[in-house]
């Protein structure tokens, strides 16, 4: 009998211990009462704590699956709307148009920057095939993105009244799809371009002279420089490296909603994309102008890869001198910082 008692007592002890283990933590983790629970004890029907939760933008419980389905009110959209429909569309449009007018006026006053001496007919290699291909892939995709982007931002105000709803919707649909698929191509070409050109865009002491003389843009004086002058370097670092990568990265955030990023992220990314895009588009107009209409011999350098010796001497004297010294040397594969091949 005594033996039985001990067994039963031991069993009971074990059971109690198990119970304590099983339920103990549950008692300890009992959540503190919610603000709403406390409030309605003292002020029944006062739902202020719940209304605060509604406005907080936090996700709450819902059975509906999806991104942010538990959020009742997301107020960031209002800010996004006000900025996009307001100052970004207005001032972005003004600045972009102003650049077009400015360049037209500049062209009227200054005309094309011509070579001061006649062409020698001797050609000197300025860009390799790979460099030119990366430049034109970037340039063409940039222009496609610029036109489609402009139509999606300003088309409602400019094209819609002319085209009507049905036609403009088709145009905008094509623009959206082109924009989404060409965007990644642009980013890849930008990355390749940076790798190829970064070496010759590092700042050098001679750049100080270019800054002091404002590039000779107004005086017409030719400021000596290495392969790229300070103006080109600025466009490389600001336009290609900083702005294009910023706009590209924010574009990727918008392009791939399948990663389930929330609305706040997309609103911010869209603002960055719009502001960065408008700045880089406006600046690109000046680059396109000087590379085509604005300067004699600039376009053929990027078209053929070769420039005339006169052009090289007048616009990039130090680079030309180095090329002269290397004359006759065989062209080395890959990016060339100092030109080697000379063709007649």
The binding site for other proteins (CB under 8 A) comprises 31, 33-40, 43-47, 49-51, 53-54, 60-64, 66, 68-75, 77-78, 80-81, 84-85, 152-153, 155-156, 160, 165-166, 168-169, 172-173, 176, 180, 254-259, 263, 266-267, 270
CB of 137 to other proteins, least distance (A): 22
DSSP 147-173: HHHHHHHHHHHHTHHHH-HHHHHHHHH
Q: Are 286 and 103 in contact (CB under 8 A)?
A: yes
Closest to other proteins by CB, 155 or 277: 155
In whole angstroms, how close is the CB of 250 to other proteins at the nearest point?
13
Alpha-carbon span 257 to 24, nearest angstrom = 44
Q: What is the enclosing helix (H) or strand (E) of 198? A: none
Shorter beta-carbon distance to other proteins: residue 6 or 258: 258
Residue closer to other proteins by CB (options 46, 325) is 46
Nearby residues of 184 by Cβ (< 8 Å), 6 or more positions away: 252, 255
Which residues have a Cβ under 8 Å from the Cβ of 23 and sit 6 or more positions away? Answer: none
Length of the chain: 344
Residues sharing a CB contact under 8 Å with residue 103, sequence separation 6 or more, in sequence order: 285, 286, 289
Q: Looking at beta carbons only, is 124 or 266 nearer to other proteins? A: 266
Least spacing, CB of residue 261 vs other proteins, in Å: 10
Distance CA 100, CA 96 (A): 7
Q: How far is the CB of 265 from other proteins (least distance, A)?
A: 10
**Minimum distance, C-beta of residue 198 to other proteins, in the bound complex (Å):** 30
- Shorter beta-carbon distance to other proteins: residue 83 or 245: 83
CB nearer other proteins, residue 107 or residue 256: 256
Look-up: residue for tokens 């036609």?
Answer: 167
Task: Give the whole-angstrom CA distance, residue 157 versus residue 72.
Answer: 32
Instruction: Select 85 or 112, whichever has its Cβ closest to other proteins.
Output: 85
* Interatomic CA distance for residues 121 and 130, integer angstroms: 24
Q: How far is the CB of 162 from other proteins (least distance, A)?
A: 13
Give min distance, CB of 244 to other proteins, in A. Answer: 21
């Amino acid at each position: 009998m005594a033996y039985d008692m001990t067994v039963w007592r031991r069993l009971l002890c074990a059971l109690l211990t198990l119970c304590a283990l099983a339920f103990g933590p549950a008692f300890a983790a009992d959540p503190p009462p919610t603000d709403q629970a406390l409030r309605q004890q003292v002020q029944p029907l006062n739902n202020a704590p719940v209304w605060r939760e509604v406005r907080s933008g936090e996700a709450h419980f819902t059975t509906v699956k999806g991104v942010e389905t538990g959020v009742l009110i997301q107020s960031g959209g209002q800010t996004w709307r006000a900025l996009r429909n307001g100052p970004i569309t207005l001032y972005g449009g003004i600045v972009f148009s102003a650049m077009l007018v400015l360049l037209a006026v500049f062209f009227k006053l200054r005309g094309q920057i011509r070579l001061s001496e006649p062409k020698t007919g001797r050609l000197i290699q300025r860009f390799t095939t790979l460099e030119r291909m990366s430049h034109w892939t970037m340039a063409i995709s940039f222009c496609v993105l610029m036109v489609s982007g402009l139509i999606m931002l300003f088309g409602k105000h400019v094209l819609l009244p002319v085209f009507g709803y049905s036609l403009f919707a088709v145009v905008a649909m094509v623009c959206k799809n082109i924009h989404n698929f060409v965007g990644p191509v642009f980013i890849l070409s930008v990355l390749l371009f940076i790798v190829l050109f970064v070496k010759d865009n590092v700042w050098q002491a001679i750049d100080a002279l270019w800054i002091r003389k404002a590039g000779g843009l107004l005086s017409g004086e030719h400021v000596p420089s290495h392969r790229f002058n300070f103006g080109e370097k600025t466009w490389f670092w600001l336009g290609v490296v900083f702005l294009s990568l910023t706009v590209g990265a924010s574009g990727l955030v918008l392009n791939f909603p399948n990663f389930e990023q929330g609305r706040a992220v997309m609103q911010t990314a869209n603002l960055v994309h719009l502001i960065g895009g408008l700045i880089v588009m406006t600046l690109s107009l000046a680059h396109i102008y000087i590379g085509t209409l604005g300067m004699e011999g600039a376009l053929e350098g990027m078209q053929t890869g070769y420039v005339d010796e006169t052009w090289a001497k007048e616009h990039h004297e130090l680079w030309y001198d180095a090329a002269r010294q290397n004359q006759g040397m065989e062209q080395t594969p890959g990016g060339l910082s100092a030109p080697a091949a000379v063709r007649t």
